[in-house]
Structure 1
Amino acid sequence: MTDEVSLKQFLDELNNYSEEESNAGGPVSSSAEDLGTLGRVLEIAGSGSQITLDPARLHALQSHRDPSVAMSGQVGSQVKMLVGSAWLIANVRTLRSGQDGTVLAAIDFLGEGQQNLQGGMSNFRRGVTRYPIPGAAVQPVTTEDLRAVFAADDSPHIEIGTVYPTDDIRGALYVDPMLSKHFAILGSTGTGKSTSVALILHRVSQLSPEGHIVMIDPHGEYSAAFKGCGELFNVDNLALPYWLMNFEEHCEVFLTTDGAERQRDADILAKCLLAARMKTKAAEQYGKVTVDSPIPYLLTDLSSILVNEMGKLDRAGDTTPFQRLKTKLDELRADPRYTFMFSGMMVSDSMGSFLAKLFRLPANGRPISIVDVSGVPSDITSVVVSVLARMVFDYAIWSRTEAQRPILLVCEEAHRYVPKDENANGQAVRKILERIAKEGRKYGVSLGLITQRPSDLAEGVLSQCGTIISMRLNNDRDQACVRAAMPEGARGFLDAIPALRNRECIACGEGVAIPIRVRFDDLEPEKRPASADPSFAALWRETGGEQEIINRTIKRWRGHGK
């Protein structure tokens, strides 16, 4: 049916069918007024089907007082069809001109709801039981219909904004499906991503004030947003014990060589590190101790063991790897930038108190920990993030026999830690975040990935996220990456991603009933992150006090050791 004659003949038959159906008292509209028929079903092909629309009818409805009806037939809007006693809701994905002046639209079915006595819809659910047959009438969707579609059920949920194009229908995220299957928040710089992340975490915290959320903040912008309802950690108060690192993380910090030399250095470090862990009293009460066991040890012990092992060697040439390790160890102990991790001669077993304050156990009404790693030296930032992420995962594994305390780990700038380049630095953090993405939900660990460059994320990690919240993405590769990760029914929404306004998003997946386009709520100023773009025009008009600004800045700069 590709040639002009056969298509026209088919459409004539549809029009005849329409008149017969109208005379017979066909399907009723879902609103009090009769909005009529927009067009007909042309082809049914599973999730992606085709309908034909009457352009004159579409044009006439554009001035309708109901914004949902006025949007009828546009890309990203919804239409409905009656099959038996059920209304099928479909999303318009593409539009093109037909050969006889009609409009041909590709649609994706979203779900179905029962027709009620007034002709409206209730009990909407995802998925389709029965498909319409070619020739079935296509009708516009009203705001009342959308209210039934987006109405949140009794499951725990948070409201994040208003569903487009309506003015008052609330967009909801279902907390359990969103967190149990992981989620990702994507958006180019300047789209309001940080404020939207803060909004979602604030709403989750309000719903669960005794929850357990750990957020890795690489720019130090979220401390301002959560100072009232969270615990804030940075290099001044984090006090991350170095002995919590496993062997792989030790290697990333201590080893400075590559290839065969690196393997030799690693073998020496493994032997000496195990001896240092075994030397402490804490090791005596545990059976099998390995290089990975989070048992406290003294840096002085590790240093003296390195010297002793070096003394056992016959030829002077063999001491080079020992000297390298000892030199690096001495550097870490002497450099004030690493004080937050490698501090003090005495070591106490602070693992319990560290986990309690980091994981908010108990939360005491402050369920979120913001870990500001902006002050961490760049060469060990990935190791610090690796230790924190691994603590979350390992705690979940070893506490399986206890009362469960699920933990949400939120990772901002995720493409830094799980990059597409498999040869990039920071393999330890990459491995643990990939493992959490694949296995975390079995143990009650949820992962929230936030990134402006989804195309730079390791393949497979984004696809592990059951809920994707995408703000505007300007890059073609990023858009293609999101398109590949989103479910089939959301493809029509994807075309709107480059055209989204600031603080608008497309949400799809497990956390929403059906894919939705949402305008985020405004967040109170005191709950916003410190991520606003400066106004060059306004700030460049200000003057005065420059020398004092420079002096204070230099003092902070030098005092921080960076």
Structure 2
Amino acid sequence: MNQMRIDGFTQATATEGTGAPDGRAGTSENGQAPIGIVIEVGGAGSRIALDTERLAEVAMDGDATVALSGQVGSQVKLRVGTGWLLASIRSQKQDHSIPGGIVADADFLGEGEEERLTKRIHSFRRGVTFYPVPGAPVYPATSEDLRQIYASDGRSAIQIGNVYPTRNIRAGLFVDALLSKHFALLGSTGTGKSTSAALILHRICEHAPEGHIIMIDPHGEYSAAFRETGVILDVSNLQMPYWLMNFEEHCEILLTSRGDDRQLDAEILAKCLLEARMKNRLAETVGKITVDSPIPYLLSDLGSSINNAMGKLDKGHSSASYMRIRNRLDELKGDPRYHFMFSGMLVGDTMADFISRLFRLPSRGKPISIIDVSGVPSDITSTVVAVLSRLVFDFAVWSREEKTRPILIVCEEAHRYVPNEKNADGSSVGRVLSRIAKEGRKYGISLGLITQRPSDLAEGVLSQCGTIIAMRLNNDRDQAFVRGAMPEGARGFLDSIPALRNRECIICGEGVTIPTRVSFDDLEEFRRPASDDPSFTQLWNSTGGEEEMVQRTVRRWRAQGR
């Protein structure tokens, strides 16, 4: 018999069995005895009085889950009638006025029924139907409880690691819930964020080998990870036709002026661009077209329209605007860095082929396209990402009458492309991705945002993500931003974010049963992104071949190759 000392009374509790690490065998004796009682109940949580002597006893338990009971971020179960209510400890403080010595605040996570023989939780579900009453006993959650809670409920899921602090309770993500309501992966540099992103995408590809995934890779990290299971597109083979751009994207690339001059330049470009598009025979078959219509046109036709308009005597203004646009057009045509997009070979109507290759339609067992934009000139990178993202959205809108083909677009360094108001530069990519975040689910588009600076994301975008995967965040502003986006039940887990180890995370939202701390699986070397930090000690103690390396680098540099 164990004696429970709370609130001036002694409660005898029968116990049986012996403890076992991770709940792999037997029943934890300490898991069968209460560690406190409820002293106050609210709508989303309760206040608990914990017995310091009992906490010292459970800390020695062989079940790692029981041993952590009462600590911030741990789970406890509250007796409610004949069932259990699961709660997460959010905070605790010492209070000598309370028998037991410790007062803790706990957030409700969900409820389940009780197995008669083992007293464990089963048939767990999120939400609260029945609340505890003050005086209700509080018990440690055991590893076997967690095993039941995290067990798949029949929904398609991918396994990505182990539930902390256990070694053999698998942590999963419900694929449909994860993708249908967007997700965000957040973590400071050096926490294993890129490798964890690759792990999740590999698991999704294995689960759905005929899927359709596009990843925007700004640093060229992920090519190494998906060379065997995906298609790698970069400046050497992307071949993105310039005429796929809409008018706004044309303005971003072709107009260099500001203020009133830019408005005038835009009016000239709109007229000349429409004329160039209308010269294509395809325009005759389509009917009435607009300046945004993805109709192929010749760059020489656009240049001729600009020259003709500039030569008119009744144009009403100086030739400066025409000269600015024409000079920029000539620059793009002549600079080899832009040939992946502004090449004379890209004038053919390859729209269907380009979309099929980009969206993996069909996938043929390689469901992911890695779009390596590290070689794209920096002045047009945002526009290229905008075009690719808008194509996803427009394709989804215009294919509504067809059999739905959901598409996942994953954006690494998302704060670059969807910046907050303070850092916004007015580029179209932010508007496109924000629209996908708000409306994409209606059309079968899923958005995955990966960033090390969540506080620099546009306001409201993170709140559109139904699942948040938070790794260690060192910056106070980032922590506060994530805390505001997390549901109430995850607040206790948030306190542990600054103390997470590398390749550990807190997951909350639609993709998991309850907020969970997870240790990610190890990923094979050949499936990892090329993002490891260099070993200064090792590299600075090796020598040989430096001259040849410099020569090779200079040749690639001059050729703008990689």
TM-score band (shorter)? over 0.9
In structure 2, the partner of 1:102 is 101
Using the TM superposition, give the Cα deviation of residue 287 of structure 1 relative to its aligned residue in structure 2, in angstroms. 2.1
Check the 8 A contact 1:80/1:141 in 2, yes or no: yes
The reply to whether residue 493 of structure 1 matches residue 490 of structure 2 is: no
CA contact (8 A) 1:437 1:461 kept: yes
Q: Distance in 2 between matches of 1:33 and 1:261?
A: 79
Q: Which residue of 2 aligns with 1:112?
A: 111
Contact 1:505 1:518 in 2 (8 A): yes
Tell me the CA shift for residue 454 of structure 1.
Answer: 0.2
1:167 maps to 2:178: no
Q: Distance in 1 between matches of 2:208 and 2:154?
A: 16
Give the secondary structure class of the aligned counterpart of 1:358. Answer: helix
CA contact 2:383–2:427 (8 Å) conserved in 1 = no
Give the aligned partner of residue 86 of structure 1.
Answer: 83
**Structure-2 separation of matches of 1:420 and 1:172:** 32
Moved more, 53-62 or 552-561: 552-561
Q: Does 1:42 align with 2:39?
A: yes
- Over residues 256-315 of structure 1, what are the superposed CA-to-partner deviations in whole Å (9 max), with x where a residue is unaligned? 111111001001101111111111111111122011111101100000000011111348
Structure 1 stretches of 5 or more lacking a match? 1-10
- 2:74 matches 1:73: no
1:55 aligned residue (40, 52, 56)? 52
Spell out the pairing of 1:215-230 with structure 2 (5 A cutoff): 215-230=215-230
Render the CA deviation track for 1:230-274: whole Å, top value 9, x for unaligned: 000000000000000001000000111111110010011011111
Shift of the alpha carbon at 1:316? 9.4
1:309-324 matches, within 5 Å, as: 309-314=309-314, 318-324=318-324
Q: Once the two structures are superposed, what CA deviation does each residue of 1:9-68 show, in whole Å capped at 9, x if it has no partner?
A: xx998443x53xx48x89999947363110110100111320000011101111111101
Which amino acid counterpart does residue 246 of structure 1 have in structure 2?
N
TM-score by length of structure 2 reads 0.95
Q: CA deviation at 1:422?
A: 5.8
Going from structure 1 to structure 2, the CA distance change for 1:234 and 1:32 (only over 3 Å counts) comes to closer
Are 1:313 and 1:319, in contact at CA under 8 Å, matched by a contact in 2? no
3-state SS in 1 of match to 2:518: strand
Partner of 2:252: 252
Residues 402 and 96 of structure 1, relative CA distance in 2, 3 Å threshold: same
Mapping 1:187-266, distance limit 5 Å: 187-266=187-266
Deviations 1:119-148 (A, max 9, x none): 222111111110100000011111101111
How many Å apart are 1:149 and its aligned residue?
1.1
Q: CA deviation at 1:204?
A: 0.1
Q: In the superposition, relative to structure 1, how do residues 62 and 470 fare at CA in structure 2: closer, same or farther (>3 Å)?
A: same
Greater mean deviation of Cα atoms: 97-106 or 410-419: 97-106
Q: Show CA shifts across 1:137-183 (max 9, x none).
A: 01111110111111122111100000001111000000001100000
Question: What SS does structure 1 have at the residue aligned with 2:225?
Answer: helix
AA in 1 matched with 2:197 = V
Once the two structures are TM-superposed, the CA of residue 345 in structure 1 deviates from its matched residue by 5.8
SS in 2 for 1:517: strand
CA deviation digits over 1:509-545, x for unaligned, max 9? 0000000000000000110000000010111000011
Higher mean C-alpha displacement, 127-136 vs 28-37: 28-37
Distance in 2 (CA, whole Å) between partners of 1:340 and 1:299 is 14
Which stretch shifts more, 115-124 or 442-451?
A: 115-124
Q: Distance in 2 between matches of 1:468 and 1:414?
A: 14
Q: Is contact 1:417–1:426 with CA below 8 Å preserved after alignment? A: no
What 5-or-longer segments of structure 2 have no aligned partner? 19-25
Equivalent residue number for residue 412 of structure 2: 412
Q: CA deviation at 1:344?
A: 1.4
Partner of residue 431, structure 1? 431
Q: How far apart in 2 are the matches of 1:297 and 1:92?
A: 63
Structure 2 Cα separation of the partners of residues 537 and 260 of structure 1: 56
- Equivalent pairs, count: 548
C-alpha distance in structure 2 between counterparts of 1:31 and 1:112, whole Å: 21
- Cα shift at 1:317: 5.9
Residue matched to 1:6: none
Aligned residue for 2:319, secondary structure, equals helix
Counterpart Cα distance in 1 of 2:137 and 2:237: 65
Contact 2:156 2:175 in 1 (8 A): yes
Q: Give the aligned residue type for 2:29.
A: E
**Residue aligned with 1:226, SS:** coil
Cα separation, 2, equivalents of 1:530 and 1:553: 19
Once the two structures are superposed, residues 358-414 of structure 1 have per-residue CA deviations (whole angstroms, 9 ceiling, x without a partner) of 000000000000000000000000000000000001000000000110000000000
Aligned match of 1:33:
29
- 8 A contact 1:234–1:371 mirrored in 2: yes
Gap change, CA 1:67 and 1:345, over 3 Å in 2:
closer
Instruction: Work out whether residues 216 and 372 of structure 2, in 8 Å CA contact, stay in contact via their aligned partners in 1.
Output: yes
SS at match of 1:285: helix
> How far off its partner does 1:347 sit?
1.4
**Percent of aligned pairs with the same residue?**
62
Query: Which letter maps to 1:478?
Result: D
Q: TM-score, normalised by structure 1?
A: 0.95
CA 1:15–1:81: 2 relative to 1, 3 Å: farther
Query: 2 CA distance for matches of 1:236 and 1:332?
Result: 17
User: Which residue in the other structure is 1:5 paired with?
Assistant: none
Contact 1:300–1:345 (8 Å) recurs in 2 = no
In 2: Cα distance, 1:478 partner to 1:75 partner: 21
Secondary structure in 1 matching 2:286: coil
Structure 1 counterpart of 2:392: 392
How many angstroms apart in 2 are the aligned matches of 1:548 and 1:28?
69
CA drift at 1:425: 3.0
The farther-off stretch of 232-241 and 338-347 is: 338-347
**Structure 1, 106-115 or 421-430: larger mean CA deviation:** 421-430
Alignment check: 8 A CA contact 2:240 2:346 kept: no
- What does residue 23 of structure 2 align with? none
Structure-2 separation of matches of 1:440 and 1:499: 34
Once residues 114 and 220 of structure 2 are traced to their aligned partners in structure 1, the CA distance between those partners, rounded to angstroms, is 51
